[in-house]
Every structure is written in C-alpha cells, then in structure tokens.
Structure 1
Amino acid sequence: MRVVLSTYGSRGDVQPLAGLAVKLRELGAEVRVCAPPDEEFAQRLAAVGVEMVPVGESVRALASGASSPTVDFPTRVARLVGQFHEAVAAAAEPGGAVVATGLFPAVAGAQAAAERVGARFTYVALQPTMLPSPHHRPFEFPSQPYPPELTDHRELWEFNIGTMNALFREQVNAHRASVGLAEVENVRDHVFTDRPWLATDPLLGPWRQPAEREVVQTGAWLLSDDRPLPADLSAFLAAGEPPVYVGFGSMPLHGAPDAGPVAIEAVRALGRRIVLAQGWANLAPVDGGDDCFAVGEVNQQALFTRVAAVVHHGGAGTTTAAAVAGAPQVVVPQIVDQPYWADRVAALGIGAAHDGPAPTVDSLSAALEQVLAPEVGARAAAFAGEIRTDGTAVAARLLVDAAG
C-alpha cells in the first residue's frame, strides 16, 4: 500500500506528517511526503528515512521576504493547485491513500490528484478552528472581511463558503476541468470532505460537541525525537536554575521586530537565564552575557523538560510539545490558529495568553511572572500526564485498515 502525505506550509505542517510517515512504515506501507523544498524539511524527513518530493517554492524564503512573489494572488493559487496535483498524481497509486493538510490550494491540488488517480483522500486539520463548527469563527482572510453585523458562528461559516469560492473556486475548477474532472460548486466542503480528520490532542485541542460535521480526532501527530542535546547546551542547563526558553518558530515576526531583545530584557528582569531559539526571525543575544544561550535546530522534546517556562508563538506543534513536557507556557500569538492555542493554554491553567502579537518588557514580564508561579507549574506537570501520544499510531492504523 502506498500513502502520499502532502502539505505546503511551515515546519508545523511538515513535522506531523513525518511522524505519521514513520508509523505507516512500521505497518508496512510505502510512504512519500510532498512538501516545500526547504532544506530543513528535507533534512528532517531524511533523518527518519522518509522520501520527500519537493513541491513549489521555499516557504521560508516567502515568509521572510527573501523571495517576493512576482505574480498576483489568483496566479499563485492556480500555480499551487497545479504543482501539487502533478506531484501527488505522480506519487499516488490506485487504491492507495492521499492525506493532505496545509494551504488550501495545495490541498485542493492533492485532492484532485487522488480523485483522478483513484486513491482514497483524507483532509486533516492540525487545529480545530480550520473546520466549520458552531463553537468558533472561521479564519478571516484580510482581503475578504466578514460583515461586522454577522456574529453567529453558523452564519459566519455559511458566509465562509462564499469567501472560499471567491478566493479559490475559479482556479480550482479551471484545473479540475483541464484534467478531466467535474467542476464543483462548494469548493471548501468538497476539498475538506464530509469526514475530515483532526490531528490534535482531545484535551488540549478538543472537537467540541454538538457539531453538524463528523470529524475523526486521532490525537496529535508527534514525531519522536531521540537526538541528544548539544554538549554546550547541556552544560549551560546544568550550570544554574532552569532557564526560560524563548522562540517563535517559523514566524519571521515582521510585526514585532524587537521581540527578541524585549524577551531577553523581560526574562532578565525576573532574574532568570534564557535559552534563545533563533528560528525564522533570526533571534540573537543582545550582548555577551553568560545568562543567554542561543540555539538553532534542537530537540524540543528533551529541552522543554529542562526549562522553567516556554515563551513561543502558539503554533500547534510547539504548544503540544511544551504541554507534553509539562512546561508552563507564555503564548504570544501572531496569526491564524495561534490565538486559539493561546486561549486554550490560558483556559487549561497551564500558561498565559499574551494580549497581542507585539510584547513589551512590562507585558511579557507580567505574563512570565504569572506562569512561573508554583501552582501553574504544578498544573502544567499534571496536565502533561493526561495528553495522548498515540495520535500517529491511531491515524496510521486507520489508513492501513481502510485498505482492507
């Protein structure tokens, strides 16, 4: 059985597929991952022995502004649909499976490829807010704001059908027609299907009931990481009290360019040491102080068990990793689903949600002081034991069993 896993997005989109790929291979499946051509993604997949098919432009270059789009939005949509259709169709086989997440045009291309090849298709959301529900609002595209008088969640999701059609239907249907597939009226629901999967922990990111749509919640897709921490980082950790980790992952932080220096000052104001993750914002120490240690790519699963708190952007992967490690969190949300994860962390009592994407020394110090309280640490440690870690095993078994 061949399974093609497809995404166009940041590391938070690619790494869950790597975790699923490992479990599928253990069950005897042949797996290929269609993903952006960024070297860091290729290296991570190669490290676990998974074949990667590079598709499209570098996501990091686009996000950081190093590679500015030279075409308009409709052309970019059409290009992504076509690129992922071609890649997935070449990799998939009749009777096999295609699993897709990430940017909508890439998912639409993967879905059309599965349909044309005759493979089973599954759309997976990596956060509940991607899926229609009476319990939350749909994501608002900057170019397609919702009417201010429209506040009911069900009505907003109905309105969202028109928004998605306006943004994507013409290009999706043009491509479908070009490869001999029928055009679709409601492009969102056709691509998301009537039985999508949700790869989040049921406690950390639950699918709330009642809901009209049947959603299969597998648990979060985690990639086990047994890499040792670098010797110099281990020495820094052992040299004093647990430090505060600060990192914003795949966020370039265009709206908060001073977030690194602000975070360092805020942590120092509380008398704490800092582990500073460079990430896509290229965070760096502001001086030669021996209380600040900068890291690049590192095993978060091992590191987060040895820090006093985690300050981050609120990506699904980092939020889950900190929760599994039992580390209190301060979430400084930037875009899309990150405000949702910030709210969940605060509601569960395992951390704090920063108000807005641009912290100040005072605002971040206050949030850190809150989560460094003993009762928050105790709650975070207790919650860690409640999180399921078998999401990839559940999803892999569902895919293999469906093949008969």
Structure 2
Amino acid sequence: MTTTLAKGGNTVVPTAVCRVTLTSPTTGIDVSAVLLGQDGKVRSDDDLVFYNHPSQDGIELDGQTVVADLTAVPTTVDRIAVVASIDPELHATHFDASNTPHAVIECGNARVTFVPLPLEDGETVAVLVELYRRAGSWKARAVGQGWDTGLAGLASDFGIVVDDPGPSAVKASSGSAPTKARQMPTAPPPPVHAPRVSPAAAPVPPTTPVRPLGPLGKVALTKAGQATITMRKEDPSLVVTATLEWNGGSASRRRAGADLDLYALYVPRRLVTPSGKRPDKTDQAVYYRELGSPAAPPYIALDGDSRVPGRETITIRRPDLQGYVLLCAYSAVENGTGSFKSYGARAVVTDGRGSTITVPLFNNRNLSYWVAIALIDFTVPGGAQIRHVEKYSGNHVEARPTLYSNGNFRMSTGRVEFKTR
C-alpha cells in the first residue's frame, strides 16, 4: 500500500523498523539524520548521524537511506529529522525546481512518498521528513523545510554550534561542557551574510598536552583523543612507524578467521590543499598489494601481509614531504562477521625517539569491514598530530575510505576491495 503525503501531512508508522530514502532527480545529495529531544535540540554531537558517524541509538545510515529501528531509540529522543544536503563534490550550488529531493518511507508493507514543493530560495540543505513520537507510538511527518544558510543554519537551529571563523567545530550547546568535536559533512559556501562551515577537519580537544621539546613518552589515546609528537620534520632521518596489532580475540574468533590488513591512505605535502580551497579526492594508498617504498616516493612502506593474528607495520620516512596519512584496517571477507574490537586490534604509532602513542579500537560494530583508526597530520607546526578518529564503514561495504587533500575523509566511498584467502 502506498500513501502520498503533502507538506505538513503525517501518518502512523506501523512497524518497528523503517527505511527513509532520499533521492534527487538530477544531482547528488548527502543524507544525514539528527536525533532530537523534546526541546528540539540534540543531546550531544553524537546525535548527528552522517557518513563519518553512520549509526547512533537505533539509527543507521546506509548510503542515501536512514534505517530506523524505533524499538532501540532511547526515550530521550523525541524525533528524528532526516536531512538532504547538496553534495559538495558536484557542481550544483543549491537546490532548485529540477533537483529538489524526494522521500520514500518504507515500513513493512506500507510505503509513504513525499514530493515537496520545489526549493527555489537558494537552499543547500533541507529536512525532508521526520519520525516522531505521539501518544506512545511513532508517526512520520512530511516537512520539506530548507536553509539557505547551509549546514551552519541547520546546525544552529538544532543546537549544534559551528565555530566561525576558522575550521568547523561541532559541539552540543545543551550541556554544561563542550562535547568532543565531530567533522560535519560540508556544503558549498553559503551567501556572505551567513555563517560559514569550513571544509577543514574539526579540531578535537586534546587529551594530552602538547610538549614543545623532547619525546612525548607513552600515551594511550581515549576515544576521539589526540596527541602531538614534537619532532623536527625537516630531519630526513626521522622515521615514524605505525603498527596494526591484533591477537585474534577469542578462540572461536580465531577459528572463524582473523585476517586484518593495515592501510595507509596518504596525501603528499605538495598536494595538500590550502585552507579555503576546494579539496581533491586522493586514491593513493600503501597496503598489501602496493607495498610502497622506504627509499623513494611516497617514502611509506608496508612490511608485508600477515594473514594470521600478529602485526603489520608501515614505516613513514621523510616527514618533511608528508601531508596527511590516514591509518585504516580492512577485515577480509572470509573472516565473516565480527567487530574489530573482537579481534583485539589496536594501532601503535612511534617516532623511534621516545614517543609512542597507542590507539585502541572501542566500537563493537560487527558488520563493518573497514575502520579508519587514526589520522596523522604532518602539516601542524612543530610536529605531527595523531588523531583517534575510529569511523566504521556501512554494513557489508567493501569500499575503502576516501582521503581528501585537506585531511578530511569519508567512509565507504573509495575503491572496492574484496580479499579472500
């Protein structure tokens, strides 16, 4: 049965699991969801579900579809707004009559469609539909509300603070203390009167103070933590090593398979995009099929392919020539399902001069084949910054992450890998 809603219309959601799919007739869009309390505000920055944070409290992003398991949504969440925004990688700068997105809601055998009135006032982001609680059950409402101030305007209305000027930092404004920053999806530059969302990666409050001189010592990062190795990047003899270690977890986990692969996606210093410029996608990686070289560009090399529990190590030389290195892990298809945490996996980064940073994996997502573990930023003055990012791919997605020339990255958008034993 198919029902068509007009703007402002609503209908009862008949089943516990709903799929909300947004599409545009003529342009690419990014889809996200925002979990809101009764005050219409987010509880924390974790309530923004998008490509770099694809699941939260029963809400999961699967490409352009938001899958809502309404039985798993906490009672502190009153409604879920499903959002479409212009894909910043494409030429479209705003929505218009030709590309205004549509929504389809599927709940069991019920199908609800919503075709909003054309967005023709320069909107770059819009809430298409929302799922909301009413009298002990869930309903869906057709919204069709857009913002010509882009994601900054939407974020402000929902209680997410976007710092301006400078790189975008997303925090929840409802609590007494700032929460950890989360990199938001970016949109084309809004009009000059509007707040601007910068494409640069959001800063993360440091868990470890930056030391101006000497080794950092041994540091274990907490979730979303960062630390800075102070080193002279102009010293060509300096070598940074990044090791993926895993013990295979339990005996049953090891029997099922425990083949992990370490990847280093990288941007050389000469290709780093200056602040304010549109970044480029990069497809450069060192991994088991491209072992790299320690003596020639990219001066990044993998020591080999371990197909059993153990370790794989990448060496990064000539830090003066490096821009960004994103450390990722891939779980071979024949491992079956199982979270990276269940493998006992962690990354260890050291400069060989007394600074060692351990990056553990905390999440128990058991259907993700990819995890982005840590970003090494060689562009910061005076050292290299190690950021714990821990972002996971969508369920059963074989596409690796995409690293951009400004240090941002997106999950599940890169080259497809399919490794079997």
Report the TM-score when normalising by structure 2.
Answer: 0.30
Rg larger for = 2
Report the TM-score when normalising by structure 1.
Answer: 0.31
